[in-house]
Each structure stands twice: as structure tokens, then as C-alpha cells.
């Protein structure tokens, strides 16, 4: 384990334990890398050594009838999705691929990276996020201790639910070696109902209205006029319906009847076009091609449009944006600035009780701007205590989420 090596392939938990204990003894910050598709997420805080999980690859358990799958953290997502697809199953949380935002190879992520950043897509509003489907995991903490948590079934938790801590921790608490996830059957078919010709506020209102009906749409998004991949002259609200063909058609017709008094026009995307649209929205491709700084805003569905309007009034140079999760998730691309317009963005979000994350910006910007939304003092203190309980020497992804650790 010579410290002169820039990168180390972790082959098993024993490798990870030795590397982490050695790093703690030398006060050596480490980065965890799978496929590298998310290296530019989070604060820019270069480590002196990388631990690669690519050798921790392979599906170790798959029981389609039990809807459970276990895999090494370095297993490519595309391999797992191909296996699930062969059995007409899927990850219901629809893992987002960050590669389009950073110009990388699509679907190159590893399953460990998906869990590390809680990468979840449009169906999250109905099915929950990645952390809600993580049944268990094995890892090595920053202390160099092997930990196994959870199991193969979803159950009520007594004590600490470590899956909720690990998922979305960006590798700052532990190096994942294996994960176990719940999978679900794929729908027989899907269609997307497009609601066209309303202004932005009306379009978002129709999404919220549809979400309150019994017609069970599985995703709700809104694209402003001209936004790709649709490129319509006006705003478009999109509602995805999944299930048996007869059910989908019946629910689509019922939604049209329900929303007819809005004065909108309606179109339907059939299965192939519908799947392509939601894959595009999942991976934020409507804004990925714009050469600006990218923010991800999370608010109540009633407030997403208000936050964008507040930014307009503040003079923020908006290049592109769109809404997901009924308006509660805003993907926003702004003209580049040294501070990434952080003050304006956070002021707009704070006024509605949401939070904003800087997703894409130059290294020097991500080194000096708070990438993650500042936490209230009590929560920040709790976050630090959690970090130090897993990684007291702060060797794992030091500075990735917070500058001080």
C-alpha cells in the first residue's frame, strides 16, 4: 500500500480496511471513484489518492421472484439494467445519469455511485428515491471498520436506519462494497399525455391538479416553450401513465376529461416516444447542452414556478430550465459567473423554504461557493457528529460536501 500510488483498485473489504487505516494514520485524504461519472459533483476538493471500486463488480444475488438484487458497488449500472430488463423488471426510482451534464459516456455509472448520490429520476414523486429502495449494504467506514446493515427485505426499522445516512452521503462516511436493492416489475406499456397551450403558471397548476386525481400518473414535468426534446412553440406539461394498455388508455381519456376546462390542447406520446422523453428529462438533457452553470432547486410543488419568477425579477441570466416532480424540482442553467449567482439563487429558494444545489460549474467556482445548501446550525452540528462517528480523521472525500470536513 505504497502512498506514492495515485490510485488503488479496491478488490475486497480487506483492501479497503488497509487503505483507510493507512490514510487515517497519514492524514491522507481519499476520493472514492467508480466510473468517474460524478467526480465533478460536489465541492472541488482534490484528494491525494483515489480508491477505485471498479474491481468490486458483479451481481452477487438476483431473485426475480423475490424482487431483490445484490451487486458489488463497482458494478456498471447498464449491466444491472440489462439483466433486469431481461426479466421485465426495473429500479422503480429510475436512477439519473449525470453523464450528459458533464459530457461523459451515458449509463457508465456504477451502482455504488448511484447510491452514493441518491440518484433518482422522474418516478421518485410516486415510487420514492434510491434510498427508499436500498434494503441493505456492506461498507468500510473511515475508521477502517467493516459494517453490514439491513438485509434482503423491507421492514420497519428499530434503531438507526443506516441506509438513509449512507445513501446521498457522497462517499463521505464509508466506502460501499456491496448494495442490496428492491426491484419492481416493468409496466406493460406507457403513454405520455401532453397538455399544451397554457402559460407557465397554468401548466404547473394542471400538473398539481392531475396529481390529485385517482388516475395514477407516474411522472409530472413541464417544459417551457422551445425546450428540447419536444421543442414546442408553447409550454408543455407532460404526464406519464404506466400499466396495462387498456388501463393506460382509460386513465389518459379520464385525465383529458378532467383537465378539459383548462382550455388546453392535448396530444399523446405512445410508448417509444414517451420512454425517450422521460429518459431525457431523467438525465436533465434539456439543459445539458447549454454552456452555463447548472443548479438543482428543490421546493414544494406550489413554489417551483414562484422561485423561477423571483430569479427573473432579480435579473438572473437564465439560459434554460424545466420542471419535474409537479414543479417541485427545477433544473436551472444560468450564464457563468464567478460566484455562480449563488446569492440570488439561494435568496429565491430560501424565501420558499427550499434548497438549492450547484451541480455544474468550474472547479474554481465549486472550490469557493457552497455547493450544497447551507444548513441551520443545529443540523450542521448533527451532520458533523455523524461524519465524525464514521470518519473521525476526515479522510473520506474531505471537503466534498462541506469545506471544513
pLDDT tens-digit readout, 270-279: 999 999 999 9
CATH number of this structure's domain 189-282, picked from the four choices 3.30.930.10, 3.30.70.3450, 3.40.50.10330, 3.40.47.10 = 3.30.70.3450
User: What whole-number distance in Å separates Cα of residue 199 and Cα of residue 372?
Assistant: 31
* CA quadruple 92, 127, 258, 195: dihedral, nearest 10: -60
Residues of the chain with CATH 3.30.465.10: 1-186
Looking at residue 244, the DSSP 8-state letter turns out to be S
Measured distance CA(100)–CA(118) in Å, rounded: 17
pLDDT at position 17 is 97
Region of 131 please: left (phi>0), alpha (psi -120 to 50) or beta: alpha
Residue range(s) of every CATH 3.30.70.3450 domain in the chain: 189-282
The CATH architecture assigned to 285-368 reads 2-Layer Sandwich (3.30)
Q: Please give the biggest Cα pair distance in the chain.
A: 70
CB 373 within 8 A of CB 359: no
| pLDDT by position in tens, the chain (length 405) | 334 447 899 999 999 999 999 999 999 999 999 999 999 999 999 998 999 999 999 999 999 999 999 999 999 999 999 999 999 999 999 999 999 999 888 888 999 999 999 999 999 999 999 999 999 999 999 999 999 998 766 554 444 579 999 999 999 999 999 999 999 999 999 999 999 999 999 999 999 999 999 999 999 999 999 999 998 999 999 999 999 999 999 999 999 999 999 999 999 999 999 999 999 999 999 999 999 999 999 999 999 999 999 999 999 999 999 999 999 999 999 999 999 999 999 999 999 999 999 999 999 999 999 999 999 999 999 999 999 999 999 999 999 999 888
Of 309, 322, 334, 319, the residue nearest 283 (C-alpha) = 322
State how far the Cα of 210 lies from the Cα of 262, in Å rounded to an integer.
Answer: 12
Is the separation of the CB atoms in 182 and 215 below 8 Å?
no
Question: What grid cell was written down for 286?
Answer: 434539456
What's the pLDDT tens digit per position in 192-236? Answer: 999 999 999 999 999 999 999 999 999 999 999 999 999 899 999
In CATH, the number for domain 1-186 is 3.30.465.10
What single DSSP character describes residue 227? -
Retrieve residue 175's grid coordinates.
466506502
Beta bridge partners of 331: 296, 322
Return the HEC string of 269-292. ECHHHHHHHHHHHHCCHHHHCCCC
Strands 189-196 vs 355-360: parallel, antiparallel or unpaired: unpaired
pTM for the full model?
0.94
| pLDDT of amino acid 251 | 98
What's the first-to-final CA gap in the chain, in angstroms?
A: 24
Amino acid at each position: 500500500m505504497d502512498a506514492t500510488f495515485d490510485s488503488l483498485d479496491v478488490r475486497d473489504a480487506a483492501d479497503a480496511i488497509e487503505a483507510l487505516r493507512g490514510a487515517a494514520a497519514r492524514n491522507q485524504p481519499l476520493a472514492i471513484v467508480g466510473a468517474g461519472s460524478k467526480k465533478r459533483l460536489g465541492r472541488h476538493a482534490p484528494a491525494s489518492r483515489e480508491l477505485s471500486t471498479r474491481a468490486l463488480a458483479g451481481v452477487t444475488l438476483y431473485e426475480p421472484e423475490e424482487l431483490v438484487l445484490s451487486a458489488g458497488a463497482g458494478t456498471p449500472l447498464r449491466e444491472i439494467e440489462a439483466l433486469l430488463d431481461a426479466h421485465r423488471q426495473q429500479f422503480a426510482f429510475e436512477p439519473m445519469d449525470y453523464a450528459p451534464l458533464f459530457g461523459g459516456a451515458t449509463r457508465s455509472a456504477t451502482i455504488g455511485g448511484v447510491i452514493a448520490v441518491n440518484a433518482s429520476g422522474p418516478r421518485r414523486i410516486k415510487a420514492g428515491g434510491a434510498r427508499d429502495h436500498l434494503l441493505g449494504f456492506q461498507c468500510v467506514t473511515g475508521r477502517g471498520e467493516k459494517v453490514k446493515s439491513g438485509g434482503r427485505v423491507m421492514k420497519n426499522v428499530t434503531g438507526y436506519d443506516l441506509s438513509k445516512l449512507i445513501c446521498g452521503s457522497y462517499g463521505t462516511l464509508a466506502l460501499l462494497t456491496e448494495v442490496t436493492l428492491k426491484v419492481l416489475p416493468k409496466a406493460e406499456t406507457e403513454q405520455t399525455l401532453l397538455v399544451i397551450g397554457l402559460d407557465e403558471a397554468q401548466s404547473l397548476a394542471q400538473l398539481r391538479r392531475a396529481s390529485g386525481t385517482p388516475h395514477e400518473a407516474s411522472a409530472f414535468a413541464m417544459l417551457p416553450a422551445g425546450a428540447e426534446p419536444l421543442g414546442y412553440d408553447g409550454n408543455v406539461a407532460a404526464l406519464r401513465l404506466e400499466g396495462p394498455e387498456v388501463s393506460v388508455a382509460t386513465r389518459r381519456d379520464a385525465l383529458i376529461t378532467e383537465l378539459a376546462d383548462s382550455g388546453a390542447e392535448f396530444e399523446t406520446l405512445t410508448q417509444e416516444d414517451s420512454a425517450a422523453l422521460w429518459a431525457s428529462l431523467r438525465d436533465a438533457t434539456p439543459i445539458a447542452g447549454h454552456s452555463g452553470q447548472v443548479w438543482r432547486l428543490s421546493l414544494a410543488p406550489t413554489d417551483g414556478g414562484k422561485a423561477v419568477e423571483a430569479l427573473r425579477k432579480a435579473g438572473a441570466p437564465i439560459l434554460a430550465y424545466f420542471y419535474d416532480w409537479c414543479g417541485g424540482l427545477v433544473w436551472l442553467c444560468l450564464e457563468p459567473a464567478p460566484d455562480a449567482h449563488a446569492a440570488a439563487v439561494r435568496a429565491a429558494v430560501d424565501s420558499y423554504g427550499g434548497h438549492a444545489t450547484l451541480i455544474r460549474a468550474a472547479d474554481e467556482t465549486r472550490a469557493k461557493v457552497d455547493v450544497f445548501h447551507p444548513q441551520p446550525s443545529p443540523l450542521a452540528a448533527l451532520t458533523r457528529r455523524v461524519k465524525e462517528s464514521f470518519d473521525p480523521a476526515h479522510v473520506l472525500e474531505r471537503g466534498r460536501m462541506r469545506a471544513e470536513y
